[in-house]
């Protein structure tokens, strides 16, 4: 778990990046309406949570930097028996002050009056530029004398690039649960079932191990549906002799995992499926081996595109010289996305890929990223060999950059053809994991 000292240390680190006589204002996430008067499960804004560890809505965090130092004020929903009757207990000002290492705690009802006070004689205001207009309007109403408005999300994003040991442990915990879910999906008798039944099996494993939510809507795409990159309908029958692309990862204590495996419905790959799968898997292995400090994502991307293009030429999907094909972006038809992305508090972590001078940020110890080469062969693509039409394959792992190279955090989730076809896949979700000391309380 993340300690209160670590949250405090993050705020202090942020303070070193702020200009003097400045104010930071961060708001909690707004509850999202599902339909009419029902709501989606609440999930805190990642940047707000990163600096506070506070999970309640209707809250705000203010950080003030002056020559005297840094001051942190947390605003929370006051205790209210009627509101708590309908929506659950609140921590309130008193207990929040006891729990969190902040200088002051006030009721959120006093925020606007306090802002008037905080903004006096300040030169800079930092807030998230993606805020909804009503909150921006409130800030601007009380900060007319402040000449500089700056995007705090950029500074926090830079900090989120490097994961602490505690963050890495939470990601590893999420990964251990996701492993059990994918292995259960491989063992599950999928014939004559629907995609949503397999999705339910996966998400049951998530929740039964303390991961109360998925990190994103699970993709369970059988056959040609795998060629829709963000397919989430998950309502088709699982067809014998087809492949299923499963992109599913849980979120554990706000930290994500993001894993894709492509497996056969009946447990056995056909020859064309093996040919495509082997090609993608070999590319992935080679790209992962390139990961180390100072390497660049653009280099990984270029290498993946070259290897995939050469593989497609060998299989007859593309024809011609690979350099000319890449220059004309012919490979993009079958591999249209990036080789990977940052991962952490968000499955697509809100962290930059370039410095302010537009130079690419190289890999550094403590970064976590996905590596996910793929090939998508639409069933209606008459330009490719018939045996490959309707097959979509993506293989995705989560990689931690270490001081000397990398650690594949998801290496225990099987992905070789022999392992997937084996009946000896380990799955222990209903025993050892449930006793973990890391389960949230």
What are the residue boundaries of the structural domains of the chain, listed by start? 4-160, 165-435
Is the model's pLDDT at 270 over the cut of 90? yes
Q: Which residues are catalytic?
A: 37, 230, 247, 258, 337, 341, 348, 372, 376, 394, 396
Distance (Å, rounded) from C-alpha 117 to C-alpha 73?
A: 13
Distance (Å, rounded) from C-alpha 389 to C-alpha 183?
A: 27
Q: Are strands 38-39 and 213-214 parallel, antiparallel or unpaired?
A: unpaired
Q: Mean pLDDT over residues 373-400, rounded?
A: 98
Distance (Å, rounded) from C-alpha 105 to C-alpha 102?
A: 7
Region 165-435: CATH code = 3.90.230.10
**DSSP label of 435:** G
Reported pTM: 0.94
| Whether the Cβ atoms of residue 310 and residue 326 lie closer than 8 Å to each other | no
Q: Mean pLDDT over residues 378-389, rounded?
A: 98
| Whether the Cβ atoms of residue 216 and residue 195 lie closer than 8 Å to each other | no
Distance (Å, rounded) from C-alpha 169 to C-alpha 173?
A: 6
Is the model's pLDDT at 156 over the cut of 50? yes
CATH topology of domain 4-160: Creatine Amidinohydrolase; Chain A, domain 1 (3.40.350)
Q: Mean pLDDT over residues 400-429, rounded?
A: 89
pLDDT of residue 395: 98
The tens digit of pLDDT for each residue in 216-230 reads 999 999 999 999 999
**Contacts by residues 201-206 (CB-CB < 8 Å, ≥ 24 positions apart):** 202/246, 202/248, 203/248, 205/177, 205/180, 205/181, 205/429, 206/177, 206/178, 206/181, 206/250
The tens digit of pLDDT for each residue in 58-114 reads 999 999 999 999 999 999 999 999 989 998 999 999 999 999 999 999 999 999 999
Q: Mean pLDDT over residues 336-365, rounded?
A: 96
Give me 352's structure tokens: 């930059």
Is the model's pLDDT at 142 over the cut of 50? yes
CA-based angle 264:190:418, to the nearest 5? 35
Distance (Å, rounded) from C-alpha 277 to C-alpha 9?
A: 45
pLDDT of residue 433: 45
Percent of the chain with pLDDT over 90: 89
Distance (Å, rounded) from C-alpha 76 to C-alpha 299?
A: 46
| Whether the Cβ atoms of residue 291 and residue 364 lie closer than 8 Å to each other | no
| Whether the Cβ atoms of residue 252 and residue 170 lie closer than 8 Å to each other | yes
Residue 331 confidence class, pLDDT cut points 50, 70, 90? very high
Is the model's pLDDT at 435 over the cut of 80? no
The tens digit of pLDDT for each residue in 180-232 reads 999 999 999 998 999 999 999 999 999 999 998 999 999 999 999 999 999 99
The number of beta carbons lying within 10 Å of the beta carbon of residue 223 is 20
The tens digit of pLDDT for each residue in 233-265 reads 999 999 999 999 999 999 999 999 999 999 999
Beta-strand (E) ranges in 50-158? 60-66, 69-76, 104-107, 124-127, 148-151
């Amino acid at each position: 778990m993340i300690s209160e000292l670590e949250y405090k240390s993050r705020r202090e680190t942020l303070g070193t990046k702020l200009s003097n006589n400045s104010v930071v204002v961060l708001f909690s996430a707004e509850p999202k309406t599902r339909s009419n008067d029902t709501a989606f499960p609440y999930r805190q804004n990642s940047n707000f949570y990163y600096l506070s560890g506070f999970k309640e809505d209707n809250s705000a965090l203010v950080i003030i930097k002056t020559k005297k130092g840094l001051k942190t004020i947390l605003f929370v929903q006051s205790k209210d028996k009627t509101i708590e009757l309908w929506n659950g207990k609140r921590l309130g000002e008193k207990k929040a002050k006891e729990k969190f290492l902040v200088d002051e705690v006030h009721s959120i009802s006093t925020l606007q009056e306090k802002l008037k006070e905080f903004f006096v004689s300040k030169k800079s205001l930092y807030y998230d530029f993606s805020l909804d207009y009503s909150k921006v309007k409130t800030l601007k109403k009380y900060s007319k004398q402040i000449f500089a408005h700056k995007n705090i999300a950029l500074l926090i994003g830079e900090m989120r690039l490097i994961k602490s040991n505690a963050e890495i442990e939470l990601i590893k915990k999420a990964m251990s649960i996701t492993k059990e879910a994918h292995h259960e999906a491989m063992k599950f008798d999928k014939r004559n079932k629907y995609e949503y039944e397999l999705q339910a099996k996966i998400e049951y494993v998530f929740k039964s191990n303390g991961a109360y939510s998925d990190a994103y809507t699970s993709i369970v795409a059988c056959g040609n549906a795998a060629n829709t990159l963000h397919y989430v309908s998950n309502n088709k029958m699982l067809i014998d002799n087809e492949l299923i692309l499963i992109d599913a990862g849980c979120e554990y204590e706000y930290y994500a995992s993001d894993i894709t495996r492509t497996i056969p419905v009946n447990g056995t790959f056909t020859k064309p499926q093996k040919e495509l799968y082997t090609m993608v898997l070999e590319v992935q292995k080679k790209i992962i081996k390139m990961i180390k400090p100072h390497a660049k994502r653009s280099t990984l991307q270029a290498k993946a595109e070259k290897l995939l293009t050469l593989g497609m030429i060998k299989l007859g999907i593309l024809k011609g010289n690979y350099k000319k094909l890449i220059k004309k972006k012919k490979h993009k038809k079958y591999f249209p996305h990036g080789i990977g992305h940052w991962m952490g508090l968000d499955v697509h972590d809100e962290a930059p890929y370039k410095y302010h001078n537009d130079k690419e940020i190289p890999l550094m110890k403590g970064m976590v990223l996905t590596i996910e080469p793929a090939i998508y062969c639409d069933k209606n693509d008459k330009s490719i060999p018939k045996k490959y039409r309707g097959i979509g394959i993506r293989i995705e792992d989560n990689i931690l950059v270490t001081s000397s190279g990398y650690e594949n955090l998801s290496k225990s989730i099987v992905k070789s053809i022999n392992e997937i076809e084996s009946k000896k896949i380990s799955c222990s979700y209903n025993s050892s994991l449930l006793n973990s000391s890391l389960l949230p309380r």
